[in-house]
Amino acid sequence: MRMNWCPCYLTILVNTFGCGSPKDASQPGEDTIQPQEATQLADAPWPAEVGTPSDVFADIGDLWTLPDDLHQPGDGPADVGVPVPQTPTCDDLEPKHCLLPWPSSLYLAPDPTRVTGVTLTFGAESLPKNNHGVPIDPAPWRRLDGYGTATTIVTYFPNLDRSKLAGEDTIERSLEADHQSLLLEVGADGKTTRVPHWLEIDGRAVSGTDDQVLLLRPARLLKPATRYVVGFRKLTQSDGTGTKRSVLFQAYVDGKGDARQARMNDVFAILASAGAPTSELTLAWDFNTASDAALHGTMIEMRDKALAAVGPEGPKLTVKHVVEHTLEENEHIAFEVSGTFKAPLFLKTEQTVIETKAWRFNQDASGKLVQDGYRDEPFWVRVPRSALDGKPHGLFMHGHGQNGSGDQVRADNISRVCNEHHFITYATDLRGMSEEDVENILALILDLSHFYWLADRLHQGVVNHVLLNLAMEKQLPKLDALTSRGVIVNTAEHYYQGISQGGIYGPTIVALSPYIQRGHFGVPGSNYSLLLSRSKNFDAFYTLLDIAYPDRIDQALSLVLIHGLWEQSDSASWYRRLALDPLPGEPVNQVLLAPAKGDHQVAVVSNEIVARSGVGVSLLAHYATDRKVFGVTEAPYPHTGSGMVLYDFGNPWPPPGSNLPPTTVDVLGDPHGRPRQLKSHNQQMVHFWRTGEIIDVCGGDGCTPE
């Protein structure tokens, strides 16, 4: 029997990050879940037959029986200097929590088959437990050979005096010779480079309690397959006394540690060479990031196999509805074509605790993806009135908002762009984070072991977008619904436009698609582990998360944990694939980002991290007249190539150093949906699409529309 748990489930996540009504993506919705409804869901009986997914993953025990001499420091380029741990359970460098400090090399088990020489392997009891006592199953994370390139670094120092630490608005401090925290990138030649960063206390925890972890945020994206060393030194507490070392860390300092002693000695030597002698250290450790093969290999494999399955014409389009509009009904759109396309399916299903159908990779014993037939996926095509006179019209794909639907392509602002600038637009659902996935997203919060339901299906959702790109180029110009009305499609103009979630995943789609080389991302962001707690819409999740995982440190660590899987599709790892390191055979892509200052739903600071990362995204002149972005030189207009233009409606910046949504009273309201309503914004977007040039439509002093 289906569980009767929450008739308003759609309103929790459909509107996260302002995806809005399916009919008008410009209007944010309301989060209306009630606490008692979340309690009913979280406290529902736990079906014994469901269990955890560990039985369908390979046994991780064998990795811990490898000979000690199989992969020791100095063995060659595959080596990242990680010894065989004595136990895979907890890292006692910081005894406050099993996973602290995060991310730790303790969980990088030697594996000579991987690019980095290790596999991310947590112990059976390492990860947080939910309110039913079920620990997060570590098996899905074994697909990674390191931590994410956008990971947050987490540790714990109670009553810490942070007055000398770099903040979000003082990032430059982190590069000072005597700064109390160091994040070092270790090159293949052993040379180190300081990574700029800022620190903040977890504001979600109650101030003054003992569950406020310290978050170290890298101010630029980390490099894949790279070793990093973290060090804290000369820390003091708020009363002026020194912060004590943990028992295990003191043992390493004294040279009396366990099997990790040799590795810790290397960490000490690296930090000493960077000006932080061991005598000053309060805590230090290292980790390595995952390789491109681990982060992107499955997505590329799915794309390539899907394109081979559909052939040169793409997946077959089946038209089910053609709806014509009178001028009174719609002054911009003449008619809409909707139907389905056959997408090769590389997922298999499993049942959730609330008896819905969830999805996961369909892989053979060797880990290769296996197609399981086809699935009909929806598409929508909108043809403007301007196309009825036979003038060729270009194409652009629309990416919908958070947990929404492709029918948001019906938004009025999109219709105006089509009619005024001569485009036909189309869309589909982003599986994994669409309306169809909302129930499963809620269910996986009860046991984050199942986060792969979202992560795996997002691969299929992104690949479906690429398949539809091909179908629109090859089949749309020949559809009777268009040819019979004299509509001509100019496939030489083919672009991407996404808002909110569509902007977040835009870089992934554009980088992966052979058919689109320019994209526009409205109110975008990247790195969900940073975005979620800074969004007002994630507050609704905490109603459920507070019950399923009541310990705040568990919650904070769970967010950075799940992002390791999320990053396989998150733009945080895909931005570098646009221009810095395109996929093999793919051209350089160009993108334009248009965030809104003071956005209540998507943290603008996440885009600034991208601009600082050397991936080819420039900040355009007058980005912010009241705030300087560390480490970035603004580019003048006009600018050819990728860039970012900040739209400023007068909203205040969020307080620096807070991982919370904007809390300052903002009488102007959330600006999240406002840029795309401006004709100047759309003019800038279209000009960029057609020329690759970003022009100033803001009057020479920053985009501050009246």
Question: What total of structural domains would you count in the chain?
Answer: 2
Q: Angle CA(294)–CA(297)–CA(299) in degrees, nearest 5?
A: 120
Examine the domain organization and report whether 522 and 550 are in the same domain: yes
| Closest CA relative to residue 184, chosen from 75, 270, 251, 293 | 270
CATH number at residue 178: 2.60.40.1220
Residue type, 297: G
In 78-196, where do the E strands start and end? 108-110, 118-120, 153-155, 181-186, 192-194
| Predicted pLDDT at 17 | 34
Does residue 589 sit in the same domain as residue 658? yes
pLDDT tens-digit readout, 593-636: 999 999 999 999 999 999 999 999 999 999 988 888 999 999 99
Q: What is the CATH number of the domain that holds 496?
A: 3.40.50.1820
Residues 267 and 361 in one domain: no
Between the alpha carbon of residue 132 and those of residues 34, 45, 95, 136, 314, the distances in Å are: 22, 10, 23, 11, 46
pLDDT for the residue 667: 84
pLDDT at 39 (0 to 100): 37
CA atoms within a 13 Å half-sphere pointing along the CA-CB vector of 195:
30
Low-confidence stretches of the chain (pLDDT beneath 70)? 1-88, 207-209, 663-665, 706
Let me know if residue 585 belongs to a domain. Answer: yes
Range of the domain at 192: 73-123+144-292
Whole-number pLDDT of residue 257: 93
| Same domain, residue pair 506 and 583 | yes
Q: Is there a single domain that holds both residue 249 and residue 381? A: no
Per residue in 53-102, pLDDT tens? Answer: 333 222 222 222 222 322 222 323 333 344 434 446 899 999 999 999 99
In this structure, are 268 and 355 located in the same domain?
A: no
In one letter, which amino acid is 475? Q
Does 21 fall in a domain?
no
Q: What is the DSSP letter of 22?
A: T
Looking at 234-295, which runs of residues are DSSP E strands?
281-288
**pTM of structure:** 0.89
Statement to judge: residues 161 and 110 lie in one domain: yes
Whether 353 and 328 have beta carbons less than 8 Å apart is answered as no
Give the distance from CA 217 to its chain's centroid. 15
Contact between 135 and 129 (Cβ < 8 Å)? yes
Looking at residue 539, its pLDDT comes to 81
In what helix (H) or strand (E) does residue 456 lie, and over which residues does it extend? helix 452-474
In whole angstroms, give the CA distance from residue 351 to residue 354. Answer: 8
517 in a structural domain: yes
